[in-house]
Structure 1
Amino acid sequence: MPKGTPSRPGLLRDPDFGRLFAATALGQLGDRIVFLALPLVAITALHADELQVGLLTGTTTVGSLLIGLPAGAWVDRIRKRPVMIAADLVRALILLSIPAAWWARLLTIEWLCTAALLHGLLTVFFDVAYVSYLPQLVGRDNLVEGNARLSAVRSVTGIGGPAVAGPLVGWAGAPAALLASSAGMAASGLLATGIRRREERLEAVGRRPLARDIREGLTFVLGQPVLRATIAGDAMFNFFLVLYQTMLLVFLERTIGLGPLGIGLVLSGMGCGALLGALVARASARRLGQGRVIWLAPLVTCPPTALMPHARPGWSLYAAAVGLAALSLGGVVRVVSQSSLQQALTPDRLLGRMNATARFVSWGGVPLGGVLGGVSGALWGAGTTLWIGATGMTLSSLVLRRAGRGATM
């Protein structure tokens, strides 16, 4: 199928996109199990306090700050698929080290943070290559559909991952649950080896300094008002989202009294919201316009997250879980429009650097958000921290509105 071919029956009829879709499903299933099991290893197996949980979140996400910009410049110089495959396979080995260390009675919070750091660094390379690879695989005319379909499979695994991880953690323990994550990552990398479409020939760069490529990417992104505004709004949203998420599992486990199964069900509800978001993302972008969707989605769906600090066992917890599902719905609707808009505004040769710059800025404050979430939880409690996170996520819509205005002009 030629690149950019109309895909009315759906991109899934393209064998190469189908392989990427299946690889995404398995990799994301493993990733969603990590999202639940990794902090639960710290909370339940190592009995970490709030500050240590915050530090774990910080080390998980600090990769973008450390290597985000050079990763994008480097990925733009090479083919993307081998980067994705290598990152998946090495991440699988890193995750495998955690249950191995647990069974050998060697696992400590330092080991866990080191594994989280290495996993996060490799995730930077994977994500930059993955987002830069999609336009070449499906063609720019099919970006919204491609992003929507991949968001849909991520949403399904957002439902299935916690639903599997909760009972698995309860039955085998959080460290052992990471075996499933490792298997999913490995299977994702192996599936990606079957994609046959060749990437376009890359521009010869010779001995051009890497710093020059980084500067070119920064100049392009900062010179585009729409890109600049979307990334700034994203940075604010992600900072407060991670601050919120850092204390969410602590609140559910220690304040509400939920076990791994109950926590898994709450996170599965978030996956249901994300799946619904993926199903309506294309229609929302078509009806409202990508620019409006980018800021309206967080404005409407972030305030319900403030229900969680008031939740207690019973109906108030169910209402708060619906609020989390709304957050996921709005997040997917926004990201589909935002990613498609960013990819459409960027030439192929700069895609890696644009995505890396966006990730560097958008995720640069995330480690600080994780640490401050832990500090806030230790000082004022998990409930107050959730309030702060909910307020900040809602206010990010004001920054994203600037991008929406620029995109609709």
Structure 2
Amino acid sequence: MPLFTSSDKALWRLALPMIFSNITVPLLGLVDTAVIGHLDSPVFLGGVAVGATATSFLFMLLLFLRMSTTGLTAQAFGAKNPQALARALIQPLLLALGAGVMIVLFRTPLIELALHIVGGNDAVLAQARRFLEIRWLSAPASLANLVLLGWLLGVQYARAPVILLVVGNILNIALDLWLVMGLHMNVQGAALATVIAEYVTLLIGFIMVCKVLHLRGVSLDMLKQAWRGNVRRLLALNRDIMLRSLLLQLCFGAITVSGARLGSDIIAVNAVLMTLLTFTAYALDGFAYAVEAHSGQAYGARDDSKLLDVWRAACRQSGIVALLFSTVYALAGEHIVALLTSLPQIQLLADRYLIWQVVLPLVGVWCYLLDGMFIGATRAVEMRNSMAVAAGGFALTLFALPVLGNHGLWLALTVFLALRGLSLALIWRRHWREGTWFARS
């Protein structure tokens, strides 16, 4: 089988812009880690790690806003239905703005609850509180940006999300350097940089969406009527994806919580290593996003041959990229860690756990791709069930923590990714054999 067919080219046309734009997101995390990691205490790095985890848990619990938007938009795009395109934008956008305002209004008790659950070092928690009080002011923009990104991806307009993500994250990085290093605002500076960047990104996103609406034949009258109809399906879809996201965030939150109870050095080193993993995941998600768009389009058009061609291409190309990441971490992992923190004890500790950064790309790539297949087909129930299986495996593996220490945390994460991929693969195989993939999910 050739390694580069016409389907591979079609995949890269959508995936490559998304890869470049996606890696600006963890690049921001790299800069945050590097800037905060060069301050005079690991307490600052630990505080940002706890704050970032709490933010991720809350905002990513609402990731259904992007995922359902992408799936429904791609299906409407495949079916050539402008009214459905309008509905796929307006309904989740209203949900996003409403949820964001509620987070801002109730952020203080939410922050106290989050920090109480995490526990651990008081000095680390104090820095996390300072970070979160500012960071969560961005909630309306952050959640609305998820919807805009999902909609632009669903219509396969690759340049728009590239502009949306790259410009926003580059601005964030520049503000991060200025506020933290230049104005010495420490963790508050890192949080404020993100807030400003999110609202600027939202403005850019609205401009881009307006242009694409015109190109796709969506009229103002369609937008005015878009809040009506199919709300029950949207809510049911979002419910199942939210439960999936909850299980996902519980597992990743457990890593930070367990690490915090192993000491401030462990939580700091895990923050550095999770930044590498996040960088890898966002790059590989470029392929997953491309699969989402093609899967949804094929679902709307009921075109199984195109779907299968793109799936095979995604397996080939993303597998190669995952292998490249593993090779880089195996050969240069120590040097990368040294760039992220100047603290000798953190560098030495990180070297013990770098092997997991070699293993994880090769294990995780398959669950990312299969997520894309199921998101495009809006098969939320099966995604939820698969995540439940993986979360169960993760929880069982944590019982090895007293024996394996921090290695036990990384083993649990590896088991989690492997079970996600395996369970989705079995479901996908059954549907394909029985010819039921395009049945109403």
- RCO higher in structure (CA 8 A, sep ≥6): 1
